[in-house]
Structures are given as structure tokens and as C-alpha cells.
Amino acid sequence: MKGLYAKMFARPDLWQRSPEPFWDDAHISKGMLEAHLNPTLDAASRSKDTIRRSVDWIASILPQTSKILDLGCGPGLYCRQFSDLGFDVTGVDFSQRSIGYAKEHDPRTRYIYQNYLEIDYTDAFDVIIMIYCDYAALTAAERQTLLSKVRSALRPNGIFLFDVFTDVHSKGISEKNVWSVHENGGFWSADPHIAFEAAYLYENGTVSLSRNLIVTESGMKEYFIWDTSYNLQRLTEEVSAAGFEVKAAYDDVCGRAYTGNSETLCVILADRRS
Ligand SMILES: C[S@@+](CC[C@H](N)C(=O)[O-])C[C@H]1O[C@@H](n2cnc3c(N)ncnc32)[C@H](O)[C@@H]1O
């Protein structure tokens, strides 16, 4: 195992994955759930008001009989509202804590604890959603796997709706390497720790990595969060290669008209065969 100094200054390889599956970590998922449930923050989930506007907009463009699959549903903040509106909803997430919370608070939605890269549905849903820029947190290979799984899972004429951060957003990210001390524990560990937080840019600045190296008395753990930024052209090229066409584009997942100047981009895809 590399020592601290080497780890701190070694630039991780593009798409290198951290060994720690942080979404499902017992301590981290606790703080994450609190962040999801904070109604005013755009943190793990968007604010309550934004979620309401997203649900209202998405519901307004769907037939009432639509079967919806929410990938990375978290604690079910969207699923619950879609179910309340009468849609048939399934939510998939691989945070046990979030799925546990969702099941407890929303008996109408079907919640499944699963890695969405391993779903295995055929012709099962009219609408698949993936909200809060999770698509772009996947590696290039994982995105291909996801698109192929989504394509199989959609019924004829089904749609895949998701959002990503754009180049406008990533322009504000620069490389850094900073550290902080957390004597009473914090987000990444309940134990006293030092957090070394670095940001790295790859692929002409279109891919960023936030690397959190957490050092406690008992050892070191690393957590990697990747993000790819898009513009409409690059996203269209990527999904076209996977058999989709872009039916519509918006500036956000509340249906704001597309300008290309927004920090987010929301697209609606359909299988080119349908
Ligand atoms: C940024 S949060 C967004 C949650 C939700 N879509 C929302 O906006 O309220 C990303 C969610 O995706 C889940 N997630 C990440 N990777 C996943 C995977 N491979 N399979 C299933 N869920 C995953 C996380 O547990 C987390 O709940």
C-alpha cells in the first residue's frame, strides 16, 4: 500500500474507482440521508421546492398510465410524489439507508436495493428517470452499460429523462489539494480524522475528479467522485452511439427552455428503433 505522501500527490488514473463504496457506507450514508432530507439545500437531493417543480413538469408531459423507473432514487423524494399523483413507480438505489427510509415513508412505490448497472428489465417501463446529474458521475464504460440496460428496460415509445452538469458549470472547477482537521469526526468518518481533498481535471477539463483521502488513527481511506461535463452536441454523440436519439433538451429538469447557457442540461431520449 502506498504511503500518505505518495497517495496525496499521485494523480489518479482516469476513471480509477475508489475501493470504498461510499453511498452504502454505514456512517457516510447517515450524513447523506440528512443531506437528502434537508428541504432548503441543493445537496444530495435538490431543494424541496425544486423537486416539486420537477415532478410537476415531468408529470405534465407523461400519460397518466405511465410506468416510471427512478434510477438512483435515494430516499424516494421524487418517487413518492409520482406515486401520490397516481403513477406506477419503481425506485432503485444501492444505499440501504435511503431505500430503508423510502420504504418506511412511501408504501405505494416499489423500492429495490440494487446497483442500477445490474438491473435486468425487458420492455418494462414507459419512463426512466435519473435525476441530479448521476449519469455523468459514471465512468465512460459504465455509461455504456447503463444506456444498454435502459434501452432494454424501456417499452416501445418509452423515454429516458436525465440531467447532467454542463461546461458552464465545470468552468468554475480548478485543480486543488487542501486539507482539514476534524477532531470530532465529520461527513467521511465518525472518528477524528484529517481530510485531504483534491480536485483533478482530465480530458481538456471536461472530466473532473474530487478525491477525498481520509486519514484516521486506524488507517487511510480514499473516496473518488467523478463528473463529466457536457454540451448538447457531445451528449447527443454519446447517446446516439448507444442507439438513442435526443427527442428534446431543456436547461434544467424543471423543463426550462433550452438555451445552452445553463449549468445543467436535461434531455429526453428515445430508442431510435421506436
Ligand atoms: C446525487 S444522489 C440523487 C438521488 C435522487 N435522484 C435525488 O435527486 O433525490 C445519487 C443517488 O444515486 C445512488 N447511486 C449511486 N450509484 C448507484 C448505483 N450504481 N446503483 C444504484 N444507486 C446508485 C446513490 O445511493 C444516491 O442515492
Compute, in angstroms, the gap from residue 5 CA to the centroid of ligand 1.
32
Q: Which of 47, 73, 227 for a ligand 1 pocket mutation test, highest count of atoms within 8 Å of Cβ? A: 73
Compute, in angstroms, the gap from residue 229 CA to the centroid of ligand 1.
18
Note whether 240 and 108 are same-domain residues: yes
Residue appearing with cell numbers 481511506: 221
pLDDT digits (tens, 9 = 90+) for 58-117: 999 999 999 999 999 999 999 999 999 999 999 999 999 999 999 999 999 999 999 999
The pLDDT of 22-50, averaged and rounded, is 94
SS3 call for 266: strand
CA angle at residue 241 from 19 to 17, to 5 degrees? 5
Note whether 12 and 108 are same-domain residues: no
Q: Which of 22, 23, 82 for a ligand 1 pocket mutation test, highest count of atoms within 8 Å of Cβ? A: 23
Note whether 213 and 119 are same-domain residues: no
Would 28 be classed as within a structural domain? no
Compute, in angstroms, the gap from residue 74 CA to the centroid of ligand 1.
5
pLDDT at 1: 52
Q: How far apart are CA 268 and CA 253, in angstroms?
A: 10
**Domain coverage including residue 13:** 4-19+169-227
Ligand 1 atom 12: residue of nearest CA: 72
Q: How far apart are CA 266 and CA 57, in angstroms?
A: 12
Whether the pLDDT of residue 21 is over 80: the answer is no
Compute, in angstroms, the gap from residue 2 CA to the centroid of ligand 1.
30
135 C-beta closer than 6 A to ligand 1: no
267 C-beta closer than 6 A to ligand 1: no
Note whether 223 and 234 are same-domain residues: no
Note whether 8 and 97 are same-domain residues: no
Residue appearing with cell numbers 444501492: 94
Note whether 138 and 256 are same-domain residues: yes
pLDDT at 187: 95
Whether the pLDDT of residue 171 is over 60: the answer is yes
Question: How would residue 4 be classed by pLDDT, with cut points 50, 70 and 90?
Answer: confident
Compute, in angstroms, the gap from residue 14 CA to the centroid of ligand 1.
22
23 C-beta closer than 6 A to ligand 1: yes
The pLDDT of 242-268, averaged and rounded, is 98
Grid cell digits, residue 73: 432514487
Ligand 1 atom 15: residue of nearest CA: 72
Instruction: Quickly count helices (H) and strands (E) in the chain.
Output: 8, 11
Question: How would residue 16 be classed by pLDDT, with cut points 50, 70 and 90?
Answer: very high
Would 144 be classed as within a structural domain? yes
Note whether 111 and 216 are same-domain residues: no
The pLDDT of 248-260, averaged and rounded, is 98
Average pLDDT, the chain: 95
Whether the pLDDT of residue 274 is over 80: the answer is no
Grid cell digits, residue 72: 438512483
| Distances, alpha carbon 114 to alpha carbons 81, 91, 194, 239, 265, in Å | 21, 10, 32, 24, 26
Number of structural domains in the chain: 2
* CATH code where residue 47 lies: 3.40.50.150
How far apart, in Å, do the first and last CA atoms of the chain sit?
A: 50
54 C-beta closer than 6 A to ligand 1: no
Whether the pLDDT of residue 2 is over 80: the answer is no
